[in-house]
Structure 1
């Protein structure tokens, strides 16, 4: 049966209390937007952002770690608003507004008032005040939310008419775009499958249309992987999971993370009104599946893997929606105020951090442990000025440093050495044979061991330079020996990271 709205006492469920909640929405939306804009304009680039930046510089149908959507997004921002950190971060700055619109669109037919509360609770969450980092999760969250919103509207159609099929098709199209953002979209597909199999078998035709319209996304990704050594599969399924084992702390960390994400206030109210929450889950079955199925999936996965905070973000908004439909009306304002206070504490911490200076980070524990990374982030240009020299090729020992330095120079910086399973895009972009015989300086993370570099150069020497009291190191190698590097480093990379199962066909 179509999902039914939650019965409410008092005003009609389609009446929106604009003088009250409307002011909250305007204040939360505008204040959080201004804060995100400020942080996005002043916070230095992170290693992941700098790495993804090059995906936008070299647009492709896919990349080493993930499908291509974030690279396409960055390429679009560079082409329209210019090559600046502010412009490539703008999509994530605007993301909460887009997600709020998706929540409203998907839920307003059930109850305009409850839909407004869902948007408000979500907007008040601390993450939506502080997050301005462009990552693969940015388009994933956006397309996932649109897919769920379109499906919610399709499921409220009384009959499988043309409009309903159009909404199922739209949901599938958005799901395909989510798949082209990140493989976590598969978990959303699993939630859909559970919902239709358990509750809506009479509408399997709608599911079929959804799946059909989602297929171009996986088709593009499979075609790319077949011609690029299954790099996404090797990264996400094999290379990054080799050392995983069960630890009790991992599921406990997952539970703690989820309480933090939904905020302790909302978690307490959800527990206190658990009967109302269960009743809402029974009447809002699709919404419940979109929340519960991913939570259970990640809970099972947490037995072996540490679940990252960003893993659950594409399902995050709908947890607040479920809560907004479940809590008694008199508790919604209390929940909003509690979340607002929790977010305010985060804002105060950020304001305090912005009032610090480099000297504060150097002399204050535990901030002093991060001081070298802070100097590298804020004094990148000065560091590069010290290490650069005419006619010398700059490289780095790790992808984070290489990405940050390369972003500052707007010139791609290769990673020298085997590296780790992360960021193997370097293998596709860099042809080390062009450096044969040249002088290379490799920026290292600590005092270098020259014996590790000596086999690949005619001569090597260590360099040390100081920036704001922090020592930085590099190895200068003269006369790069490409054949030796190909055998000793590229050969090891091939054996370690490209051990492609024979069952995966390649073009």
Structure 2
């Protein structure tokens, strides 16, 4: 009996990756559902419009993602597929690196290690969200992973043979492209500096020109951003260093604590336990040791910087996403295969289903009588767009605007018009596209709501009247109810 049963054991062992692949597939199905159906979130549509106005850089962020969105529009047209197809390309690139890491970390159990790594990554609400929504982050994240992979391969080759500079330059180029996607990728570069200083075998690099030339290559990639800011009065830098902070910076001990709590929620408290375990362990194997040192260096640099900043100003959880990109998938063995892994999966599944309901059915807060403007304002733009087009058909010379930058982008995406603008006191990218003097005396069709009211825009016209209100409902409750106005006689203030 024992001899007869023996041949069946091997296939079972070979298929032990299957449960992990199944749970990873569950998250991929949810990602596909949201990609195909979810209306553009405000900033998604905002970045899409950037791509329709090609430039060297932009007010809020660097330009690489916008350039690629313009390419997607040219290839596939103006639709949700074009908006989000890049998120699949960047996830595929990330998973290719995970496959390589799995082969190095667990050569005898590669499929199981890979699928656990993938499931852990996608079960984190932070990474499922940021690999689904077409923000700049998904591109930056993939480039960070690719750059770190090239750096680890370089370190391996240089420590063994004293060569491999092509990999160093590749890592530097990818780092530069990551920063050209979003500024907070700079923490990867700072992590590299700590990594090289921590490893005695890499410190001789400091005496070679290649390390410094690679650093200059990363900086040179930012040339479009530097030039755009020089021509625009350093608008991006002024925004990020001064304009975005509300009031004077004040020391606070509560804010860093809140920042950590939010990070635990969005990354997953169970994954966080695994990350702490991983950072405290000394792994086996040269590649595993290097990977932990690099991931730990990036985690420490980014997290400490965010904690210090949170002590003085409001910091958003996704600003620290670079800290977790490397350390979370590498913490596979620290999270394990049993209770901690499956608690993380259950937590991630619950949060993912909540996200799906929130974005595709109704804002969760609204169901219970609250009002979440940020989510509510993502609903109903196809219908709102049709109503706006009907009003504009009666006033074909009027330009179209809204009272806030995200709603302007969502309306522009819905009606396929990159010239929709925002008439808002907030400084944003629309200020660089819209020429008020060119529209002096014109009429406008304006969309506003109860949070971002029409008051500011109304002061810029001779008269303004409501034309119709559009009510978007779900479960018998009004989710979002913007009003469409007809404004006559645009009279902007004289240019300063």
Root-mean-square deviation over aligned CA pairs: 3.4
> Hey, what does 1:500 align to over in structure 2?
none
1:268 aligns with 2:273: yes
Q: Is the 8 A contact 2:35 2:84 kept in 1?
A: yes
Please give the per-residue CA displacement for 1:278-327, whole angstroms capped at 9, x wherever unaligned: 99879832232122221222121221233323222233231224423556
Please identify, of 373-382 and 173-182, the stretch whose mean Cα deviation from structure 2 is larger.
373-382
Please give the per-residue CA displacement for 1:470-499, whole angstroms capped at 9, x wherever unaligned: 653344332323xxx132xx54xxxxxxxx
User: Residue 73 of structure 1: CA displacement?
Assistant: 1.6
User: Residue 386 of structure 1: CA displacement?
Assistant: 5.7
1:46 and 1:283 mapped to 2: Cα distance?
A: 35
Gaps of 5+ in 2: 1-11, 473-477
2:254 and 2:103 mapped to 1: Cα distance?
A: 40
User: Residue 380 of structure 1: CA displacement?
Assistant: 2.5
> Hey, what does 1:124 align to over in structure 2?
123
2:483 and 2:371 mapped to 1: Cα distance?
A: 22
2:297 and 2:46 mapped to 1: Cα distance?
A: 34
Q: Is the 8 A contact 1:70 1:139 kept in 2?
A: yes
* TM-score (normalizing by structure 2): 0.82
1:69 aligns with 2:76: no
Please give the per-residue CA displacement for 1:420-471, whole angstroms capped at 9, x wherever unaligned: 13xx221221122222222223322339988856664444444452435665
Q: Is the 8 A contact 2:277 2:334 kept in 1?
A: no
SS state at 1:379 partner:
helix
1:221 aligns with 2:222: no
SS state at 1:395 partner:
strand
Please give the per-residue CA displacement for 1:193-212, whole angstroms capped at 9, x wherever unaligned: 12223433212235324313
Please give the per-residue CA displacement for 1:210-253, whole angstroms capped at 9, x wherever unaligned: 31332321223212221222122122222112524333332112
2:317 and 2:197 mapped to 1: Cα distance?
A: 29
SS state at 2:61 partner:
coil
1:142 aligns with 2:142: yes
Q: Is the 8 A contact 2:463 2:488 kept in 1?
A: yes
1:419 and 1:293 mapped to 2: Cα distance?
A: 36
Q: Is the 8 A contact 1:281 1:322 kept in 2?
A: no
Q: Is the 8 A contact 2:405 2:422 kept in 1?
A: no
Q: Is the 8 A contact 2:121 2:128 kept in 1?
A: no
2:92 and 2:455 mapped to 1: Cα distance?
A: 53
CA distance 1:169–1:158, shift in 2 (3 Å):
closer
Aligned pair partner of 1:309 in 317, 337, 346: 317
CA distance 1:88–1:110, shift in 2 (3 Å):
same
Aligned pair partner of 2:214 in 191, 210, 215: 210
1:363 and 1:143 mapped to 2: Cα distance?
A: 39
> Hey, what does 1:195 align to over in structure 2?
195
Paired residues, number = 464
User: Residue 99 of structure 1: CA displacement?
Assistant: 1.6
Q: Is the 8 A contact 2:59 2:235 kept in 1?
A: yes
User: Residue 159 of structure 1: CA displacement?
Assistant: 4.3
2:470 and 2:246 mapped to 1: Cα distance?
A: 38
Equivalent residue runs for 1:326-365 within 5 Å: 326=334, 331-350=336-355, 356=361, 364-365=368-369
1:86 aligns with 2:78: no
CA distance 1:26–1:430, shift in 2 (3 Å):
same
1:101 and 1:69 mapped to 2: Cα distance?
A: 22
> Hey, what does 1:476 align to over in structure 2?
486
Q: Is the 8 A contact 2:359 2:375 kept in 1?
A: no
Aligned pair partner of 1:486 in 469, 474, 493: 493
CA distance 1:476–1:171, shift in 2 (3 Å):
same
> Hey, what does 1:157 align to over in structure 2?
157
> Hey, what does 1:299 align to over in structure 2?
307
SS state at 2:417 partner:
coil
1:409 aligns with 2:415: yes
User: Residue 181 of structure 1: CA displacement?
Assistant: 0.7
2:278 and 2:154 mapped to 1: Cα distance?
A: 29
Q: Is the 8 A contact 1:361 1:371 kept in 2?
A: no
